Amino acid sequence: MQHLEHDRLIFLALGESEADNADRTHLDACSHCRAELAGLREVAGLGRSTQSLRDLPDPPEHLWQGITAEIRTAEQLPTLTTARPQPADQRDGPVAPRSRRPRRWVRYAVTAVAAAAVGIAGTAAVLREGTPPPPPVTASAQLAAYGSTPPQARGDARVLGTGELHLHVANLPPVSGYYEVWLINPRNMEMFSIGVLGGGSDVLLPLPPNVDLGQYSVVDVSAEQFDNNTAHSGDSLLRGSLTG
């Protein structure tokens, strides 16, 4: 049995995405993924529960040394794709370069590890900065199959208060190139790319700081080729309009 991607379980555990029918069906049948999701939710809960703790005594030095080791390990984990790939000879399906920017969930997880370690030792101190809450969602869109795309393809997009777009997709048809994410102005069909979706089902993409989502309100996922052409291919797979 193929398990759910670890990134997907992290988003579910942090509440940054809701389980769709395929996720629920898999979790009902897979004890491994259920256990991993439960563990991730426990870690995320520990992190969130420490937000109100302030001005408490420092823990023993050996605990901080262990926390530092956890941070170093977390920083070496792979990161989400955020940038468009340069054209290349890619024959094995969609790929994308990886960003060096640490994942948001790493910050949650590291803070939670610190809180758990301190609690076991009987010391009620946590990281000085506290644990950041999940970012607010300022707009969202349900993405549906577009054109000749199989109707079971779907997705959801959420604009976060951090200035990023969280995209989750399911059942996209395979392509020989890669998937690209666009924002479209439905009044004049002007559009621009905000990044690519790699081989996974979730991605965080930074939005331009001055983007007007009231005008560029349509989220589009297209199939693109490695052809040195930066324009939209015209082959849209999913589309949906942002509201909120």
Q: What tens digit of pLDDT does each residue of 176-217 get?
A: 999 999 999 999 999 999 999 988 889 999 999 999 999 999
Element housing 84 (H / E): none
Any bridge partners for residue 219, and if so which?
183, 240
Provide the angle, in degrees to the nearest 10, between the axes of the packed helices 104-121 and 31-49.
80
pLDDT digits (tens, 9 = 90+) for 33-89: 888 888 888 777 766 665 555 555 666 666 666 666 666 665 565 544 444 444 444
Which position has the higher pLDDT, 138 or 91?
Answer: 138
Helices (H), 76-103: none
Provide the angle, in degrees to the nearest 10, between the axes of the packed helices 31-49 and 21-29.
110
Strand, coil or helix: what is 8?
A: helix
Tell me the chain's radius of gyration from C-alpha atoms: 20
